[in-house]
Amino acid sequence: MTISRRSFLKGAMAGSAASLVGPGLLTSTAAAAAGVTEQGVWKTAGSHWGAMNALVKGGKVAEVKPFGADQYPTEMLNGIKGLIYNPSRIRYPMVRLEWLKNRHNGDRTTRGDNRFVRLTWDAALDLFHEELERVQTEYGPWALYAGATGWRQTGQMHSCGNHMQRAVAMHGHFVKKVGDYSTGAGQVILPYVLGSTEVYSQGTSWPLILENSKTVVLWGNDLYKNLQVGWNCETHESYAYLEQLKARVAEGSIRVISVDPVRTKTQKYLGCEQLYVNPMTDVAFMLGMAHTLYNEALYSQAFIDAYALGFDDFIAYVQGEAEDGVAKTPEWAAEICGVSAEDIRDFARLLAADRTQLLFGWAIQRQQHGEQPYWMGAVLATMLGQIGLPGGGISYGHHYSSIGVPSSGASAPGAFPRNVDAGKTPVHNNTDFQGAASTIPVARWIDCLLNPGDTIQYNGAEVTFPDVRMCVFSGCNPWHHHQDHNRMKQAFQRLETVVTVDYAWNATCRFSDLVLPACTQFERNDIDIYGTYSSRGVLAMHKLVDPLFHSRSDFDIFTDLCRRFGRDEEYRQGLDEMGWVKRLYDECREANKSFSPASGDGEASSPMPEFAEFWKEGYVDFGPGENWVRHADFRQAPEVNALGTPSGFIEVSSRKIARYGYDDCRAYPTWMEKAERSHGGPNSDRYPLWLQSVHPDKRLHSQMCESEELRATYAVQGREPIYMSPQDASERGIQGGDLVRVFNDRGQLLAGAVVSDDFPPGVVRIQEGAWYGPVGPEIGALDTYGDPNTLTLDVGSSRLAQAPSANTCIVEMERFEGEVPEVTAFGGPSVVEI
């Protein structure tokens, strides 16, 4: 029997088949007039990669241009559209199927390799709330870790870590973290030595360095690369000074020497000198220099007498009069660091000869014993006696945001609060962590998951790991930034529940149970500073387009979560998004009402107009700042302007640290062999290559790795590049463009070979932030894209800082043979047979 067209319709409409036809997806509107072309509108926005103006046309971002004040924009702005409209966007709330069926009793081994199901927002937030409730009531605050936060998207109102932590804190207490992955060792050791973290402090102004320094030392510092991104909406002011420094180098008025195993982007830009040192041996090199400075009487005894303590103990160690009985002569150092004894002496003499500015990067403290090179750098600067002088002393931050750019002195806008309001308590006000720590060193959280109940030493205290059962992440991708992913896989199998809020399907989402789609910063209104350290101005971050798909702002997500336990009004303090943006602006305006720009006539009048005018204009500029010298006040009056160290003086040796009794961080900076090291160090016979995982050139950590347009400019056969020397490539039969398997005992990955004279033998580079995508769920599975943290070592820097040691990592590599697996790093949840 056949069906006629008319009888089909009749039958379908009469029968229940019609009930299988849902309501239409379209709605009627007024028909658009033919031939009308929308011109679009330019709006102001911003990002870590740069402030910008964006043309919005037909509800889409059509074009992105650098903000007018940004004279040195980066090409990463070309990735903005690719980020907004990226196929990796999380479009709907999702839940892992196994977890939905069996919740915390389900099979956890499938986490990271399981199917997902879409949820409505209501259903998803109900589940989120139910899990918070379950964990707080069945266990307690010790079972919830919501401490991990990271490089969020820019914007003071929607700062995602603040939203997540405020909302979760309104429900109950939880385990938090201390420290971060960028400067974990530095920010713990330097308060003992120089009295503050230094790494995030404003530094001596660039004009004073350009005017006064005769020698500038870039120690493991590729600032031309790293200054491309900033914590707030970046306007790249530092580059004007780098351009001047380049001119000074060319004319010979300033000598710039980069101490680095690699020929860096900065070296090539400035046309400056390179001083090669073996990886992870900087402390030995510096001790050899200290030996020279001391024994040739090139150091400033007067400065030490006036401003420092503990020099005698340290110099006894240098002279071989300490326990180890080894003099740290240049000859001793040369054996370790690969720099000849005469070059060590010459370098020490050069630095002592005239005004020398030391500019340290962060990479050398991201290693085992990472406290030591920073401490030793401070000791060298102390011996040179130029701390507090313009163009002298030491900085640990000139490669970060706008450190070194003179500050206008204006106040920046505040932020949406991170904590519960004063006087308020959570729904579950249980503060009993059952003897475990409520705060753990951030880089030790995988240790914590794997070894609950264990006690570690940290910064003079004991930390007992809580038995964490649930984690919440928001705008934070630990599956990029934490070391040793195969170890992480094991740790995640212990967790009962993982909730992640993000905008793209990164590995952290794949290893979660509940995934909530946040919109990007271009899909909500916000406000931010531009010139993080220069306080150059305030930027309006206009919403360019509506949140894509079913994504929502962090504010909306967590307001609705709080509604489930009756705290939404308290959470948002009665304000909506624009109410908050206006409040932050108005409070900033009030704080700046007596501010007068440095270039102004000195009359006290805020340059900040009413909010409506600011929002229409898109920005307020505070004008250029004034020069400043770090630690000049201390130099001028050390008793009055004492440092924040225990003694108030520079502590070449620290009695406080000595009292801790740590054998991996002693009373003064010391050379200690690493667990593994290339160039003749431990285990280098098996794994002879040092893998450095520096900050990427064309991303912010893992942010924008998903942008195909940008990735196409650097990927090799669709993989993250591994940079290597011609010699290392040749010895292994590798040619540029080949796929390479890189491996050690911890894991293996695929990367694309780039052979370059910039790299010395024994040194390879894979930039951190490459997205993780293993071929399968098994421990040790090949990573298909090339995340270096598949291979890195997950140990604390020492008992003092317990910081990440990512740069203590040695590997071997080989040309990849066999069937090439597809890249899975940018896919959503993968599939298992059911």
Partner 1 sequence: MTEPASSLAAARPEAGGGSPVDGESESLLCRWLATVLGAELDEASLERYRQGEAAPFLDYLRDAHGITDEVERLQEALSRLVMFTTPRLELAADFTELFLADARSGAPPYASLHAGDKQGFHGKAAERMEARLAAAGYAVRRDVAEPADHLAVMLDYLATRLQILAEAKAPDREGWRQDLEAFVEHELCSWLPRLVTRSAGVTTASDFYPALLALLEAYCRRLVEELRPA
Phi and psi angles of residue 398, each rounded to the nearest 5 degrees, phi first:
-70, -5
The token pair at 434 is 């059952």
Q: How far is the CB of 91 from partner 1 (least distance, A)?
A: 6
For the CB of residue 828, give the shortest distance to partner 1 in the complex, in Å.
3
Using rule CB under 8 A, residue 13 touches partner 1: yes
Closer CB to partner 1, 81 or 366, in the complex: 81
Does 126 contact partner 1 by CB under 8 A? Answer: no
Place of tokens 């990463």: 76
603 vs 819, beta carbon nearer partner 1 = 819
- Cα–Cα dist 705/699, whole Å: 6
DSSP state of 524: S
How many residues does the structure list for the chain?
A: 834
Is residue 512 near partner 1 by the rule CB under 8 A? Answer: no
Q: Taking the chain, what is the end-to-end CA distance rounded to the nearest angstrom?
A: 39
Provide the token pair at 478: 């630990």
**Binds partner 1 (CB under 8 A): choice among 20, 297, 302, 612:** 20
How many residues in the shown chain lie near partner 1 by CB under 8 A? 62
Contacting partner 1 (CB under 8 A), which of 195, 618, 788, 828? 828
Burial class (CB in 10 A: 0-12, 13-18, 19+), 45: buried
Cβ atoms of 157 and 554 closer than 8 Å:
no
Q: Which two tokens stand for residue 528?
A: 């931010």
Q: For residue 604, which phi and psi values (nearest 5 degrees)?
A: -80, 95
Q: Is 214 in the site for partner 1 (CB under 8 A)?
A: no
Closer residue to partner 1 in complex, CB, 19/594? 19
41 binds partner 1 (CB under 8 A): no
Residues 51-70, interacting with partner 1 (CB under 8 A): 58, 60
| Contact between 777 and partner 1 per CB under 8 A | no
- 3-state SS record for 350-383: HHHHCCEEEEECCHHHCCCCCHHHHHHHHHHHHH
461 versus 832: smaller Cβ distance to partner 1: 832
Q: Residue from 30, 302, 604, 637 that binds partner 1 (CB under 8 A)?
A: 30
Neighbours of 106 (CB within 10 A): 18
Closest distance to partner 1 from the beta carbon of 340 (Å): 52
Is the Cβ of residue 267 or residue 824 nearer to partner 1 in the bound state?
824
Residues 219-278 binding partner 1 (CB under 8 A) are none
Residue with tokens 């060590």: 344
**Coil, strand or helix at 549:** coil
- Contact flag: residue 824 with partner 1 (CB under 8 A): yes
Site for partner 1 in 531-570 (CB under 8 A): 548-550
Does 28 sit near partner 1 (CB under 8 A)?
Answer: yes
State in angstroms the smallest separation of the CB of 143 from partner 1: 28
Is the CB of 11 or the CB of 271 nearer to partner 1? 11
12 counts as binding partner 1 under rule CB under 8 A = yes
Contact yes or no for 234/530 (Cβ under 8 A) = yes
91 vs 176, beta carbon nearer partner 1: 91
Please check whether residue 109 is in contact with residue 777, taking contact to mean a CB–CB distance below 8 angstroms. yes
Q: Please choose, out of 13-21, 165-173, 393-401, 655-663, the segment that lies near partner 1 by the rule CB under 8 A.
A: 13-21
**Distance between CA atoms of 737 and 740, rounded to whole angstroms?**
9
The reply to whether 820 sits near partner 1 by the rule CB under 8 A is: no
Q: Give me the 81-100 binding string for partner 1, x by CB under 8 A, dash otherwise.
A: xx--xxxxx-xx-x--x--x
Q: What is the DSSP string of 612-630?
A: HHHHHH-EEE----B---T
For residues 266 and 246, what is the distance between their CA atoms, to the nearest angstrom?
Answer: 10
CB of 809 to partner 1, least distance (A): 29
800 interacts with partner 1 by CB under 8 A: no
Residue 678 to residue 689: CA distance in whole angstroms:
6
Site string for partner 1, 692-731 (x = CB under 8 A): ----------------xx----------------------
Q: Which residues of 177-188 are buried (b: 16+ CB within 10 A; e: fewer)?
A: bbbbbbbbbbbb
Q: Does 22 bind partner 1 (CB under 8 A)?
A: yes
Q: Which two tokens stand for residue 616?
A: 């229409």
Closest distance of CB 45 from partner 1, Å: 17
Residue of 396, 357, 370, 371 lying closest to 201 (CA atoms): 396
Binding site for partner 1 (CB under 8 A): 2-6, 8-9, 11-13, 15-17, 19-22, 24-32, 34, 58, 60, 81-82, 85-89, 91-92, 94, 97, 100-101, 115-118, 505, 548-550, 708-709, 824, 826-834
